[in-house]
Amino acid sequence: MASSKAPTSRKVAVLLAGGVGARVGLDIPKQLIKVAGKTLLEHTLLALHDHPMVDDVLIMMAPGHLDAVRSIVKQGGFDKVTDILEGGETRNDTTLRAIEAVADDECHLLLHDAVRPLISARIITECFEALERYPAVDVAIPSADTIIEVNPDDTIREIPPRAALRRGQTPQAFRLSVLRKAYDLAVKDPNFVATDDCTVVLRYLPDAPITVVAGDERNMKVTEPIDVYIADKLFQLTGSDAPASRSPEEYAEALAGKVMVVFGGSYGIGNDIAELASGYGATVFSFSRSSTNTHVERRSDIAAAAREVLESAGRVDYVVNTAGVLPRGNLLETTEETVYSATEINYLAPLFIAQEFHPHLQESKGSLLLFTSSSYTRGRAGYSLYSSAKAAVVNLTQALADEWSDTGIRVNCVNPERTATPMRTKAFGDEPPGSLLESEVVARTSLDVLLSRQTGHIVDVRKADPLAAALEQDL
């Protein structure tokens, strides 16, 4: 039975980064390995720091590496970070130090492994919400495999029923008073051993109910060398959570005095982004072949657009490229002219835009937003030119986010589900009403990404369940 509802408390996220990375074979802590343009620690810190329910962040780092974290926090502007402390020799020692560092008599404490960089906002929200009713919260997912218990000689002792088993993840969340009391009892036990904090509460406060929040398969822990590769591919292939939308007043405040450049802005998603940003007060310059005779595949046209914007507005804060073409047909039947044209528009254009606008975005600490398609994850017959170029744009996004990480420029990519746009209608004709995502939805998510602090992310925009959509969609 759940305990009585707790009063609203300060919410503190503790980033557990005390590991040394011995199993991944590196001489730096594994949480400082770079994946998808940022260190694992940065990805995880960003998810915790930018969650609207988190008030403060405490980082527990491996001894000898605090300066690296201080640099990350300073450069990233992570102002919710209240302290960076050395972790202990064990996970339990690190938690004890975190408890001692929190001066409150009571607060809501969420502890998360730094090497689980794909934590979702949904899990964080549900953990804090659960603490309103329960004193402790664990995160777990069902086990797809049968779990066996073995004897010291590796013979099977027992095979528990799989339906009752879960695979534990983090975060784990607690009312501080409960976790503090459990550890007070634990440290007096000479036989105390535990691999996680819920075990401590379960063993020493057995009357305190621990509820379970559903985890996520993506919320993996980077432990072995292959995990680094898998995490990198997950960042690339599964997309990230879209940033939270804002109120009209918040959009207006964020865009006041800002200058946005949109290529491909005469119709479809580009036009919707331009109108949305303009409606909230941004100064928007829209370029396209049909409206301004701007050919994105020509560097000279991109440079001319940059000069026009600077002469008029004096700065550039956001650059968006939605321009693209969708050639269909088997490669052997595709003309050389189409090959060059499609490659230049779908891939060379983003390169030219990035090069020409880099100095202006660096000056404003601005944001570059590119677009891909769900076809980038797997080449499809009839779309070889399109899908390969879109895969290249994804890699370009992550490479630039890494290259420009010290400049303050953010580079992200939006991956929309099948969307009702003129380009799609031209390629596929009329499709059943309600089967396509509205371009206005993609535009708002795009604006949220532009305004967010994240970089190197591939943000999915879906009308339905992502797995179902992936199985059903052609592009």
Of 233 and 24, the one with more pLDDT: 233
Mean pLDDT over residues 397-409, rounded?
Answer: 90
Whether 470 shows a pLDDT value over 50: the answer reads no
Of 394 and 23, the one with more pLDDT: 394
Class of domain 248-472: alpha beta
Provide CB contacts within 8 A for 209, sequence distance 6+: 1, 2, 3, 134, 135, 136
pLDDT band at 437 (very low <50, low <70, confident <90, very high): low
The answer to whether the beta carbons of residues 65 and 71 sit under 8 Å apart is no
Query: What homologous superfamily is domain 11-224 in, according to CATH?
Result: Spore Coat Polysaccharide Biosynthesis Protein SpsA; Chain A (3.90.550.10)
* Farthest CA pair distance, the chain: 78
Beta-bridged to residue 437, according to DSSP, are: 419
| Residue 421 to residue 351: CA distance in whole angstroms | 24
Half-sphere exposure of 101 (CA within 13 A, CB side): 23
Q: Which two tokens stand for residue 336?
A: 């050389």
Lowest mean pLDDT among 148-157, 226-235, 277-286, 327-336: 226-235
Q: How far is CA 11 from CA 103, 210, 376, 410, 470, in A?
A: 13, 18, 39, 28, 36
| Residue 41 to residue 34: CA distance in whole angstroms | 9
What are the strands of the beta sheet with 283-287, ordered from one edge? Answer: 283-287, 259-263, 318-321, 367-371, 410-416, 458-461
Find the distance separating the first CA and the last CA of the chain, reported in whole Å: 48
* Single-letter code of the amino acid located at 379: G
Q: Name which of 44, 76, 47 is nearest 61 in CA terms.
A: 44
Q: How far is CA 8 from CA 53, 102, 106, 129, 327, in A?
A: 11, 17, 10, 10, 55
pLDDT band at 419 (very low <50, low <70, confident <90, very high): low
* Single-letter code of the amino acid located at 243: P
- The string of pLDDT tens digits covering residues 61-102 is 999 999 999 999 998 889 999 999 999 989 999 999 999 999
Supply the pLDDT for residue 467: 41
Of 145 and 473, the one with more pLDDT: 145
Lowest mean pLDDT among 19-28, 245-254, 456-465: 19-28
Whether 1 shows a pLDDT value over 50: the answer reads no
Whether 214 shows a pLDDT value over 80: the answer reads yes
Whether 221 shows a pLDDT value over 90: the answer reads yes
Supply the pLDDT for residue 462: 77
Domain ranges of the chain: 11-224, 248-472
**pTM for the predicted model, two decimal places:** 0.75
Whether 189 shows a pLDDT value over 60: the answer reads yes
What are the strands of the beta sheet with 136-142, ordered from one edge? Answer: 81-86, 56-61, 11-17, 108-113, 166-175, 136-142, 210-214
Mean pLDDT over residues 367-378, rounded?
Answer: 87
Lowest mean pLDDT among 90-104, 278-292, 420-434, 453-467: 420-434
Sign of the C-alpha dihedral computed for residues 288, 395, 407 and 221 taken in this order: positive
Q: Helix or strand or coil: residue 338?
A: helix
The answer to whether the beta carbons of residues 340 and 348 sit under 8 Å apart is no
Whether 472 shows a pLDDT value over 50: the answer reads no
Supply the pLDDT for residue 313: 97
